[in-house]
Amino acid sequence: MVSTERFLAFGAVSLLVIVIPGPSVLFVIGRALAHGRRTAVATALGNVVGSYLLVVAVALGVGSLVERSAELFVAVKLAGAAYLVWLGIQALRHRHAMRAVDIRGPAGPARGDLRTVLDGALVGATNPKGIVFFAAVLPQFVDHGAGHLPAQMLVLGLIPISIGLVTDTLWGLTASAARNWFARSDHRLSLIGGTGGFALIGLGVAVAATGRAD
C-alpha cells in the first residue's frame, strides 16, 4: 500500500519536525514539573492520541478544510490556547497543596489517569503545529496511483505518532526527574509547581500568537 521509499521519506521529515520542541512537548514538560512522572507519561499518551485524531481528520478531508479556512484554524488554535492557560492557572492555584511527603509516598497524581490522558488529547488535537503538519505535509507522501488514500494516510500517520510517543515520554521523564530533586523541600516543590503553571500560561499565549504557515 505504502512504498518503503515513501515510508522512510515521511519518517525522516517527521523526525525533523518532532525533534523541534513544540506545544505538545512543552505541555508534557509543564505537567511533569507540576505533577510528576506518572502524569507526564499519561499526558504524553494523550498527546499522541489527540495527534492521531488529526491524522484521522486529514484522512477524512477535515484537515484540508481547516488548513484552507483561516477562521476555522483560528478557532481551533484559540480553543487549545485557552485550555492551556486554564490548566496553567489551575497549577498556580494548587501549587501550595503539593508537599514533598506526598511525592515520596504511595499517593497517585492529583488528577485521574483518564482525565490526564484526555487533557493531553485535547492539547494534541488543537496543536497548531500538528494541524499544519498533518494537513499540509502528510498528503504529499501518499501514492495517488495506488488508491486507498485515506488508508495510506492512516498508516503513514503512525510514524510521527510513534516518534512523538517516544520523544514526549523521554521529555516528561527527564523533567519529572528534575522535579524529584525539588521534592526534597516543600518550598522547592511549590516553586516548581508555580514554574510549571507559568510555563503552561506562557505556552497558551504563544500558541494563540502562532500564525498559519501560508
Asked, for residue 49, whether it belongs to a domain, the answer is yes
Handedness of CA 94, 97, 101, 107 (dihedral sign): negative
pLDDT at residue 29, rounded to an integer = 80
Asked, for residue 29, whether it belongs to a domain, the answer is yes
pLDDT bucket at 25, cuts 50 / 70 / 90: confident
Asked, for residue 214, whether it belongs to a domain, the answer is no
**184 vs 192: CA distance, rounded Å:** 12
pLDDT digits (tens, 9 = 90+) for 143-171: 767 777 788 889 999 999 999 999 999 98
pLDDT digits (tens, 9 = 90+) for 39-74: 889 999 999 999 999 999 888 886 556 556 667 667
Asked, for residue 113, whether it belongs to a domain, the answer is yes
Number of domains in the chain: 1
Most confident listed range (23-32, 41-50, 201-210) = 41-50
**142 vs 20: CA distance, rounded Å:** 24
142 three-state secondary structure:
coil
pLDDT digits (tens, 9 = 90+) for 88-146: 787 677 655 544 434 333 334 455 788 889 988 988 888 777 877 787 677 777 776 77
**37 vs 34: CA distance, rounded Å:** 10
pLDDT at 214 over 60: no
Asked, for residue 95, whether it belongs to a domain, the answer is yes
Q: Which residues contact 211 (CB under 8 A, 6 or more apart)?
A: none
Asked, for residue 33, whether it belongs to a domain, the answer is yes
**145 vs 103: CA distance, rounded Å:** 56
pLDDT at residue 126, rounded to an integer = 82
pLDDT at residue 158, rounded to an integer = 93
Segment 182-209 shows an average pLDDT of: 66
**Integer Rg of the chain from CA:** 18
Say how far residue 38 (Cα) sits from the centre of its chain.
Answer: 16
112 three-state secondary structure:
coil
Segment 206-212 shows an average pLDDT of: 64
For residue 178, give its domain range.
Answer: 4-14+22-209
* 98 φ/ψ angles, rounded to the nearest 5 degrees: -80, 140
Asked, for residue 122, whether it belongs to a domain, the answer is yes
DSSP 124: H
Asked, for residue 55, whether it belongs to a domain, the answer is yes
pLDDT at 2 over 60: yes
